[in-house]
A and B are shown apart, each in its own frame.
Chain A
Amino acid sequence: MMNKIKFLLASLLSLVFSTANATEISVLEETFFQSGKIYVVVAVCLVILIGIFVYLFRTERTLKALEKEVYEKTK
């Protein structure tokens, strides 16, 4: 799991830094400039949805712990 995350991070970082040179069009820009930059909207939409769902899942986890405690107390 850690390795996977490390690999993902490394590839993401290399993607980010490959765009540091502004004179040439990078892979990143090529992808996102397609069809009038519509993929920027897709990315933004995905980030928001994923963000909100991650937050909801975290809330659920807290709630689960809480439920457990309530059951133990009322037992």
Chain B
Amino acid sequence: MKHIWWKALCILLLVYTLLMTFYVGLNPGLIAVSSSTVEPGYNEFTLVGYNTTFESNKESIQVFLRSDSSFICTEILEIEDEDKVKFGFISPANLPTPSLDIYCNNNNDGTLFLANALFVEGYTAGPLENSCEVKVEKDAQTAFGYPFQPRIFESIRNLMLHVPMWFTMFVILFISFVSSIRYLSKPKIEWDLRAETSVNVGLVFAILGLITGSIWARFAWGAWWVNDPQLNGALVTTLIYVGYVVLRAGINDDMKRARVAAVFNIFAYVILFILLMILPRFSEGLHPGKGGNPGFNTYDLNSSLRAVFYPAVLGWILLGYWIYHLRLRMNRVRHKLYYDE
């Protein structure tokens, strides 16, 4: 056990990842409002929050609505518990836009926000008459905790579990690509063993990534499969490397199998690289970094997420490499047994 340090690091990182994944709290946010239509006259709504502290901050709570850049003040009717507040307001005569965003503000949670929550029927366009002054004490998203995202809620923690699967897969497939190149430049069976083993392990992570991604997509976006560049790329990657396994299984001669598989591997990896570059041009993404989606972008990857996400990626990659290394040693022994009589 000469190289025990990276295995220890792997265990340490994964323990830290799993603990922090579940331990760190989610920042407060708004989930829903009791109804979405505003009628003429006086309206009453119940606002539902998550992880909020409405009741303990009765004095400072404030609910207001935003239309374009002007604000409508509301009166707090009743605070039912920590995450339910009832508010009411008179529908104004003139509005810049028909859809209203709800803002909720208190000293502990900061300013929370629910986009396009209310819709005014039969509105008259025009500037708002009694615009109200708003004081914001604290920004909610700067607190330590995972950022609250609409629709995703607690499942943002999947970032530490699902996303590293893809990182691991790419690192391991890269090992296979490099091994194949080295095999072609110098045909030693060791390089072929490495290429074969790494594709094998990479496929396990690809399949895990597909399954977990599918589960997450179902409950965040509402469908098991959505048309998204990342998903399409992931599926094609998996199919190509399944093809690699099938190709290997079809060739009986040892040296020939190694050579042909290496050629296919290099070809596939390069095409795959091009594919992953051009795919985003074909469908609007739901994944992070694409406009107008309920996911999270780089801006939302706040410091507490980063503090867990980067170690998580490294930890999973090390675990993948560990498994790959074990399989490689096993395959070496098997090869020795069968062919070095």
Contact = CB atoms under 8 A, between A and B. Distances in A.
Interface of A: 16, 19, 22, 29, 32-33, 35-38, 40-41, 43-45, 47-48, 51-52, 55-56, 59, 62-63, 66, 69-70, 73
Given A37-B219, A41-B21, A48 B212 contact: yes
A63 B330 contact: yes
A52 B208 contact: yes
B154 A38 contact: yes
Interface of B: 18, 21-22, 26, 50-51, 152-155, 157-158, 161-162, 165, 204, 207-208, 211-212, 215-216, 218-220, 222, 224, 319, 323, 326-327, 330, 333-334, 337
A32 to B, nearest CB: 5
B154 A32 contact: no
7 contacts: A36-B154, A37-B155, A38-B154, A41-B161, A44-B216, A51-B208, A63-B330
B212 A73 contact: no
Contact of B158 (A19, A40, A55, A59): A40
A45 B155 CA distance: 11
A61 B216 CA distance: 32
A73 B208 contact: no
A35 B155 CA distance: 10
Contact of A32 (B158, B219, B323, B334): B219
Task: Give the most central of B50, B204, B224: most A CB within 10 Å.
Answer: B204
Contacts of A63: 330
Contacts of A44: 158, 161-162, 212, 215-216
A22 to B, nearest CB: 7
A47 B26 contact: no
Given A37-B152, A38-B155, A40-B155, A66 B219 contact: no
Contact of B211 (A36, A51, A59, A62): A51
A47 B155 contact: no
A66 B211 contact: no
Given A51-B208, A51-B211, A52-B208, A37 B333 contact: no
A48 B161 contact: yes
A40 B32 CA distance: 20
A13 to B, nearest CB: 12
Between A32, A45, A63, the greatest number of chain B beta carbons within 10 A of the residue's beta carbon is seen for A45
A16 B214 CA distance: 12
B337 A36 contact: no
Nearest to B327: A59
B161 A45 contact: yes
